[in-house]
Amino acid sequence: MSEPNEKTEYLDFIREAVAEDLRTGRFKEVRTRFPPEPNGWLHIGHAKALFVDFGVAQDFGGKCNLRMDDTNPEKEDMEYVEAIKRDVKWLGFDWEDRLFFASDYYEILYELACKLIRKGLAYVDDLDEEQIKEYRGTNVPDKNNITFTPPGRNSPWRDRSVEENLDLFARMRAGEFPDGAKTLRAKIDMAHPNLLMRDPVMYRIRREPHYRTGITWCIYPMYDFAHPLSDAIEGVTHSLCSLEYEIHRPLYEWFIKNTEVFPSRQIEFARLNLSHTVLSKRWLLQLVREKKVSGWDDPRMPTIAGMRRRGYSPEGIRDFLGRIGIAKTDSMVDIQLLEHCIREDLNARARRYMAVLDPVKLVIENWPKGQEEWLDAVNNPEDPEAGTRKIPFSGTLYVDRDDFRETPPPKYYRLYPGNQVRLRYGYVVTCTGYEKDPESGEITLIRCTYDPTTRGGDAPDNRKVKGTIHWVCADHAIPFEARLYDYLFEAERPMEVPEGKTFLDNLSDHSLTIQYNAKAEPAVAEIDVGTTVQFERLGYFCKDPDSTPQRAVFNRTVTLKDTWAKIEKRFQGQA
RNA sequence: UGGGACGUAGGCAAGCGGUAAGCCUCCGGAUUUUGGUUCCGGCAUGCGCAGGUUCGAAUCCUGCCGUCCCAGCCA
């Protein structure tokens, strides 16, 4: 009996399928897995998969395994395993005691391969790489540019006896043949319209030390063979993966059926694409190798480690993951949605401080000489429990260069000669003049007078003061370095490039701006590395590990929404 | 007809035959000691296109069109 106002809970197509499987008894419980290959660091695209894998399991009272899909000794490394574990944990997903490695299944996988040989469903092939390709056939465009796929041809070694195949396969394992000399292939159908079904390679010979099994093995299972069986070994009910594996599903099912193992079910969903971002390990690795960024954890990288260093919160990231949905449509998510989620989370939780990025000295001419006051400031207006702190104030302050104009543009209500602004938590001041370098034209000093009756910022006569700006007391200012980030790629789709160009040509030349002379209020000294705070009116900033006791470094996580920038741009457009 | 999949607003995405949810962006306006936050309001006579079935179609049928994936002994 459902109440009339009770909302039916929305299920995405995967959860719908899982619910159906439970209802029909196809599966009694839910078990999923997140299977990264340890050959690179996790990025936001992996986070989506993690969110789906762990989320689906959790919603149905099941568990999700973390499995290293390490069947290729050439690219994998323990460094990546550790990075992956750290990032998964940081995002808030818990695999408990279920960390598995495909490389732990090598022996059982070998046995299952032998089983297929015995059933006459696998054979040792002597064809080399080129020949296999040639025999398999390929998609070809005809004169009308319509592709068709003529049947392939059987390998001459396809009909070896079971005994010979068993013997040869054992000798492959024993290292009797050089790399590439033989493969083990599934005997399916060389005329199958799906090229993947044309006797796919199950094992190759590769004398490459594996980061976990060393030189124990010189034959390694291929993904298409290892993956379904690894799922089965772990009792995975729902093997959730990205759309490009859709075409692999018949093969996935073929191996499961013919090795007679647990009937895991593969379901595919669209991977994440993010505007202004590349999300492929291959391209990210290239950015790292060619030093276009400082490393996998460069704050501009879409990696989990990069986002962490940038100051993104796991909660904000997970909120984003929940909002983008799960579907089968190839899509491109606007990165502004991610930024919105980060801002929303940080707004609720980040402590506020005052800091000045590009300082200009402001002198209050009628301030009593030598006087200093400590004013009350709210730590987080969204959270009264965060309390207040004291900030020093005197007649010599720093304000941001952008908060002063010699001649104000329309709608500008910050500092300019004759105008009145409020110094946040301080006093209302009136700009009386300024000095500038005759050579460069740069403003060197702003002069003001203050109204002593406005301490704290409230004017007793209730007069309107439209602008409120942030500041830092010069005598107590602590210097820091501010690293300001912009998109790594200006183009919305970095991979779309004209002939002869690569995505590297789309790299922005202003993705990083450093302010070396930034100043902050004293309390900023107490902030821990890795903590994200708000510098009022400027944005959220995260203290970077590059910080030293002498000099703090802060990464700008994301700016605040900037309505003024839009207004200014609009007027500039009109001018 | 090579095979597989997908097309709902600028970007995501619900909708499952009963008359187009929600979120982001964008645009207004109110409140505000952050041009932040919050709050109100606006933004698809139309669901790739064309037919058909039906009292009724984004949903069912037919035919087109478009996009993506597949030719590793990578995953």
Q: A491, A485, A538, A490: which is closest to A513 by C-alpha? A: A485
Cα radius of gyration (chain A) = 31
Model-level pTM?
A: 0.96
Closest nucleotide over all strands to A536 (CA to C1'): B34
The 3-state secondary structure of A61-103, one letter per residue = CCEEEEEECCCCCCCCCHHHHHHHHHHHHHHCCCCCCCEEEHH
Closest nucleotide over all strands to A131 (CA to C1'): B73
Query: Which of the four pLDDT bands, split at 50, 70 and 90, describes residue A8?
Result: low
Distance A324 CA to B73 C1' (A): 38
Residue range A491-505: average pLDDT?
A: 91
Residue numbers of A annotated as active site: 37, 271, 281
Residue range A88-98: average pLDDT?
A: 98
Nearest residue by alpha-carbon distance to C1' of B8: A329
C-alpha A472/C-alpha A521 separation (Å) is: 6
C-alpha A24/C-alpha A459 separation (Å) is: 71
* pLDDT tens digits along A520-553: 999 999 999 999 999 999 999 999 999 999 999 9
Half-sphere exposure of A361 (CA within 13 A, CB side): 10
Q: A433, A374, A372, A424: which is closest to A538 by C-alpha? A: A424
As ranges, strand B nucleotides with an atom below 7 A of a protein CB are: 1-8, 10-16, 21-27, 33-38, 67-75
Query: Counting every residue, how long is chain A?
Result: 575
C-alpha A107/C-alpha A198 separation (Å) is: 26
* pLDDT tens digits along A436-468: 999 999 999 999 999 999 999 998 888 889 999
Q: How large a percentage of chain A has pLDDT more than 70?
A: 97
Distance A50 CA to B32 C1' (A): 40
C-alpha A196/C-alpha A245 separation (Å) is: 11
Distance A12 CA to B12 C1' (A): 14
Nearest residue by alpha-carbon distance to C1' of B38: A382
Distance A320 CA to B41 C1' (A): 26
Closest nucleotide over all strands to A562 (CA to C1'): B35
Residue type, A253: E
Mean residue pLDDT across chain A: 95
What is the bridge-based pairing of β-strands A359-364 and A552-558?
unpaired
